[in-house]
Amino acid sequence: MRHGHVDYFAPEVIASGDYEGVGLTVMGREQAEAAGQALAHVPFDRVICSGLNRTVETAKITISGNQLKSNLKVEVEKGLVELKGSTNGPPMTREKLGAALAFQFDSAAEPGARFGLGTNGEIFLDALARGSASIEGLLQQPDWANILVVAHEGINRILLGWMTGAGLKGVQAFEQDTACVNILDFDMAPRANGQAVEIIRKVIKALNLTPYNWTKFGMNMTSLERIMAPIHDHH
């Protein structure tokens, strides 16, 4: 999943300057509740998030109504945290920032490409390495069959590109709306040396499902443009 809706331009967020620790809006909580209803029948063995407030909150809301598991604890996998944006980019309004960020992933595969509008954002290739290492590490652990993972748009898009084998060349084609659900399936087999297991097939079973609006009617902006827009502009 991606976390539910947040508002980086809310007065309290601007006053605190804590953009990384932002929590869900009312809309975001409603989106997480809708996802929880859609996933209520799934027997999750574990629940994992990136550790940032918006993923912790989304994970707790989503799993709260699960019909089969009532004692799950939300674990943290820091390798799934969102891409670090640049801190030295130009100041921008909501509208300009959303429009500019919407095209960030088009150049993700270029050598040395970074996330953000300045010069010190995280290198996309580094994010791919840490994100895929986190998923591969989870797959080596034998104590689960179904995991709920709540992360972020950027790292999710990069992992979806990894799933296809296209890597960073494919990330611009993926959308990740707030509180969307992706269903990923892995076939595993023992390694030839008998130590650990390896991935023999990666399959995307479902992509960017939004239980709060299955048909996405009215969701005409990209998710980056949408999350940067004032709430009253959302449909």
Distance CA 164, CA 24 (A): 30
Asked if residue 69 belongs to a domain, the reply is yes
- Taking the C-alpha atoms of residue 160 and residue 203, their distance in angstroms, rounded to an integer, is 10
Burial 84-95 (b: 16+ CB within 10 A, else e): bbeeebeeeebe
The pTM of this model reads 0.93
- Please check whether residue 3 lies inside any domain of the structure: no
What is the C-alpha radius of gyration for the chain, rounded to an integer number of angstroms?
18
In which domain, by residue range, is 159 found?
Answer: 11-233
Whether 94 is covered by a domain: the verdict is: yes
pLDDT 10s digits, 43-84: 999 999 999 999 999 999 999 988 887 788 999 999 999 999
Supply the CATH number for residue 43's domain. 3.40.50.1240
| Residue 218 located in a structural domain | yes
Whether 2 is in a domain gets the answer no
In a domain, 223, yes or no: yes
Express each pLDDT in 169-217 by its tens digit.
999 999 999 999 999 999 999 998 888 899 999 999 999 999 999 999 9
Q: pLDDT class for 103, splitting at 50, 70, 90?
A: confident
Number of domains in the chain: 1
